[in-house]
Chain A
Amino acid sequence: MATVKIPTPLRVTTGDLDTVKGNGKDLISVIEDLESQFPGIRERLLDENNELRRFVNIFINGEDVRFLDSLSTTVTSSDEISIVPAVAGGSKNLL
């Protein structure tokens, strides 16, 4: 089972755990496994089209999965998966 590091904003779903275990041959199946353990986590990571939300970054052993095979990236039990929020700002429409 791969190790998954959970960022602070997501710990509301994991009962405050900062590190959990996830089972699956690729990233999407690990996320499905996390959903079965921690209901609600999936919709925080994936949008309605089943794609990674715009401000969610996921790294496997330090590499951004967008440089790998995104949600299809192969995962092994020795892998460390880090979920990290993008740190954006932006500006809402004021006009």
Chain B
Amino acid sequence: MNSYCNGLECRECGRKFNLEPIFACDFCFGPLEVDYNYENIKADLSKNKIESGPNSLWRYAPLLPCNPDFKVDLGDGFTPLIKADRLANAIGLDNLWIKNDTVNPTWSFKDRVVSVAIAKAIEFNFSAIACASTGNLANSVAAHAAAAGLDCYVFIPQDLEQGKVVGSAIYAPTLIKVDGSYDDVNRLCTELSMVKNWAFVNINVRPYYSEGSKTLGFEICEQLGWRTPDHIVAPMASGSMYTKIWKGIKEFHKLGLIDEPKVRLSGAQASGCSPIATAYENNSFTFIPQKPNTIAKSLAIGNPADGYYALKQMAETNGHASQASDSEIIEGMNLLAETEGIFAETAGGVTIACLKKLVQSNKIAKTEETVAVISGGGLKTIEAVSDVANNAMLIKPNIDSFEMNLAH
């Protein structure tokens, strides 16, 4: 097999590093990114090879920075791209698709990044896996660690939704609730990563982990028939997934799998945690950190590490950012469920609410073929919409009672 990875490279100053579990340049603290040998990848990858590969993100293995022999594949990725005509009609678009990542093994897009990170952690010979998480990542790390038989330490803020806490605990990791925000948890874990010999998937394994999100971009192109849409709308927490979708599309172009992409990428945030969207509105590439207060807890990162790159990408692709209030988020969740039969978590409500606003403000034209990324499933955050259960009728077990209640 040809070698597909040359090493790591600092995104800011270009210094080169070996492929090790490190994440920051020791000169400028810039992020380290995998430096691929695209010529070798091009020689080994074709549309036919991808199409005959597994029905998971591992069909794109040469573009993932790990040895697929170490993969722990629960069926991660390759989720449906669904034509959303009823939702399109409701919000005033001609042509809308939903990238439905609610159907991943642990019901969120985080299975993409974890699938890659666990393989890399095993390749690096770590015996324990850990993460700082707003919940979805915790669920996925705990599940994959269980399947791989690895020790697992999961750090979460103490105020998470019950579905996300149980959704980690069931896999029997060491689950640690931290009295603080996600940003506190992240700082703690960054410090811990320097004293514990564990693979913190989103810290010391991050240069590899984050590449898993590229597969969203790969899949959107492949599922549309090896082409890009006009517009993609994705949720932003750290901003990583939003930037990696674009990276995936650019890689497909570089490898000759798609024509030059003209796609615009827009990002969605909750008003209660909108450092990236607020900087966009202020025409700034420098975000100001916030203290989150939103029901979209999976997006509640007040100090988004990739915020700068997300803002640059908005400018580069002529995309936009939007933000949604808590009530708009709930309306978005309801609208998606009622029109398309997809029950998304609060982050999906953010994406739909922001999509609607971008269309209403003509930032997305009616004729633009658009893909909305729905990143997690609704049973994780039922607290947000549990009022809908009050709409149920209560009847006696006979036809008269039913007919009488139905008439009311």
Binding site for B on A (CB under 8 A): 5, 7-10, 12, 18, 44, 53-57, 59, 62, 64, 66-67, 82, 84-95
Closest 6 CB pairs of A and B: A91-B247, A85-B24, A89-B210, A90-B309, A88-B31, A88-B305
Say which residue of A12, A82, A88 sits within 8 Å of B309 (CB atoms): A88
- How does the 8 Å CB contact mask read for B10-48 relative to A, with 1 for contact and 0 for none? 011000000000111111111101000000000000000
Q: Which residues of A contact B247 (CB under 8 A)?
A: 91, 94
With a cutoff of 8 Å between Cβ atoms, the chain A residues found around residue B31 in the complex are 55, 86-90
Residue B303, interface by CB 8 Å? yes
CB <8 Å contact, B194 and A62? no
* B207 on interface, CB distance cutoff 8 Å: yes
Contact present for B28 and A89 (CB under 8 Å)? no
**Extra pairs beyond A88-B305, A89-B244, A92-B9 (17, CB < 8 Å):** A7-B190, A9-B22, A44-B27, A55-B24, A57-B187, A59-B187, A66-B288, A86-B303, A88-B30, A88-B31, A89-B31, A89-B33, A89-B306, A91-B33, A91-B250, A92-B33, A94-B250
Are A53 and B29 in touch, CB under 8 angstroms?
yes
Residues 195-218 (chain B) with a chain A CB within 8 angstroms: 202-203, 206-207, 210
How far is B189's CA from A85's CA once the two chains are assembled, in angstroms?
A: 12
Nearest CB of A to B197, in Å: 12
Chain B residues with CB under 8 Å of chain A are 9, 11-12, 22-31, 33, 180, 183-184, 186-187, 190-191, 194, 202-203, 206-207, 210, 238, 240, 243-244, 246-247, 250-251, 253-254, 260-261, 286, 288-289, 291, 303, 305-306, 308-309, 313
Residues of chain A within 8 A of B33, CB atoms compared: 89-92
A-B contact count, CB below 8 Å?
A: 118
Complexed CA–CA distance, A71 and B9 (Å): 29
Q: Closest B-chain residue to A45, C-beta based? A: B29
How far is the CB of B21 from the nearest CB of chain A, in Å?
11
Residue of A with least CB distance to B246: A91
**Which residue of chain A has its CB nearest to the CB of B14?**
A92
CA of A9 to CA of B180 in the docked complex: distance in angstroms? 26
Query: Is B194 a contact partner of A7 (Cβ separation < 8 A)?
Result: yes
**How near does chain B come to A75, taking the closest CB pair, in angstroms?**
18
Contacts of A85 in B (CB 8 A): 23-24, 29, 190
Distance of A93 Cα from B184 Cα, bound (Å): 32
When distances are taken between beta carbons in the complex, the residues of chain B under 8 Å from A5 are: 191
Check B207–A89 contact: CB distance below 8 A. Answer: yes
Measured between beta carbons, the chain B residues less than 8 angstroms from A84 are 187, 190-191
- Chain B neighbourhood of A91, CB < 8 A: 33, 243-244, 246-247, 250, 309, 313
Chain B neighbourhood of A54, CB < 8 A: 12, 30, 286, 308
